[in-house]
Amino acid sequence: MNRTQLIELIRRLNIDRRSYSFDRKEPPEEGYVLEHVGSRSVVYYFERGGVRNVADFESDFDACDFFYEQLRKMAVFLSDASATDAGAAKHTPFKPRR
């Protein structure tokens, strides 16, 4: 996919804009970055000023696909976590009968 398609898909996922970036000039506090480095595209996870899980691509199309997939997985993880938290909040602890 191209960048225009990527941006549209990210918008549909309703991903918080603070959790991704398209350059290192304004990286997220914690999240994924897709940037051009020379003639290549690089995707990585940025956290606490550090970079990890670097993926390097010759094609921007491949980088966009990978970037989207990482954001999609993150969205699923976060929605599962919030559903679990919501369920835990509704849970009433067991109280034995006297």
Reading the block at residue 21, the tokens are 């970036």
Q: What is the pLDDT of residues 53-73, one digit of tens each?
A: 899 999 999 999 999 999 998
| 66 or 49, greater pLDDT | 66
State the pLDDT confidence band at 28, using cuts at 50, 70 and 90.
confident
DSSP codes joined into one string, 7-67: HHHHHHHT--GGGEESSSSS--SEEEEEEEETTEEEEEEEETTEEEEEEEES-HHHHHHHH
Q: Quick check: 43 pLDDT over 70?
A: yes
**Whether pTM exceeds 0.85:** no
Q: Quick check: 76 pLDDT over 90?
A: no
Residues contacting residue 55 through CB under 8 Å, at least 6 positions apart = 42, 43, 44, 63, 66
